[in-house]
Structure 1
């Protein structure tokens, strides 16, 4: 189920704000009935008319995108900054990112126009594992790494246990490369976790989401997910396993 104004916007009829105006003015019908409530939710089986014209559902699309740094994980930005959808000028569907990567974080991001799929992927019940590679300032001790592995207290609560592996370190430059896998999606979580152990992140990249990787892509490039990959992600979001 999705909000009516969102469905109208995704169909390319109008912007979200304009869709809300049309609803309030009584210009929208759902299954033959005028609807003026902005909180109304509809399903793919509902018949929606805007000013007497029935809207057609967009073909569902699913993309894996290698987000560069200094790009906003959104479909638009009121400050005029570059957003992830700017890299899809050839796509007629109104896609949007599933979740987000910070402005200064690069890596794997999914985009779609399938709200049901997006909600399933982000549902906290079966949080999908996400693997990041972080360049840290300083050389974390084994004790510090254990804190992350067992869960560490942040201002918004204790994190779930993480998988952490130091892949390289440079004593002379006083820096380390660490791989970390988490199952949560709090705001700037990975950066805050490393800050909590006294080793701020100087560079961060998401390299993996569940079984998906960035293999074959350069920053700013994308590929469509295969039907099999979409099916596996649905199964994982519903059951917590793809076995």
Structure 2
């Protein structure tokens, strides 16, 4: 791997910043100052240090984001802000992407990583990875709706797999409901369409969990953090290199 790419991957700075750092003699390879960005290193064997601090190469990185409304789950878009626009430059240099998608007006948990194998496993229909949503609904959800979800709601283009609908609260005066919905699919607008099939309308939708990952309530909307050691352990169930 080129030394400049290694330094960027370690979060030292952007490519432009890294070149300046190298020219200033602030980087050493195997305890010898190295100023060439083109120098090739073995990222697993060579000792690379920045300002005397040895750097550790990370092949994969993982960020837990509390996605706000108005931002799309994509790496680039000509009209809207993307989830990558919420990250700092160090995180973007890792070339992460969102695992799956949340609609532009849906908020909540979103995993961003550069681990393609993990993303494939988490999104594979064969894996039946569960996702938990909380929804505010215009209309009163009923036990009949609970039964419909459990049986598998039939939409125009496909029949949903059985899903769990948990009615948390209803307001007869305002004619609203708060519910949690657990599904093992991820079709386009699926939760909203399932509720609509019951004659009600989702007015707010938040994703609380995806697989073993749970939304961190300490994260403000638009904020993100690295996955902690426990969360990485939980992802080991997918059987890929982390």
Q: Which TM-score applies when normalising by structure 2?
A: 0.71
Displacement of 1:186 in angstroms is 0.5
Corresponding residue number in structure 2 for 1:163:
164
Aligned-pair distance for 1:238?
4.9
| Higher CA-based Rg | 2
Q: CA contact under 8 A between 1:127 and 1:184: conserved in structure 2?
A: yes
The count of residues paired between Structure 1 and Structure 2 equals 188
1:218 aligns with 2:220: yes
8 Å contact kept, 1:132–1:206: yes
* Structure 1 residue aligned with 2:87: 88
Establish whether residue 209 from structure 1 lines up as the match of residue 215 from structure 2: no
Q: For the residues of structure 2 that align with 1:142 and 1:229, how far apart are their CA atoms? A: 35
2:48 matched to 1:66?
no
- Quote the Cα distance in structure 2 between the aligned partners of 1:213 and 1:194: 23
List aligned pairs for 1:134-213, cutoff 5 A. 134-213=135-214
Q: Provide structure 2 residue ranges, at least 5 long, that are not aligned to the other structure.
A: 1-7, 10-39, 44-56
> For the residues of structure 2 that align with 1:156 and 1:192, how far apart are their CA atoms?
11
Aligned equivalents of 1:232, 1:156: Cα separation in 2: 34
For residues 118 and 162 of structure 2, what CA distance do their matches in structure 1 show?
26
User: 2:37 maps to which residue?
Assistant: none
Query: Normalising to structure 1: TM-score of the pair?
Result: 0.71
Which portions of structure 1, spanning 4 or more consecutive aligned residues, are displaced by more than 4 angstroms?
A: none
Structure 1: segments with no counterpart, 5+ residues: 1-10, 13-52
* 1:117/1:234 contact within 8 Å kept: no
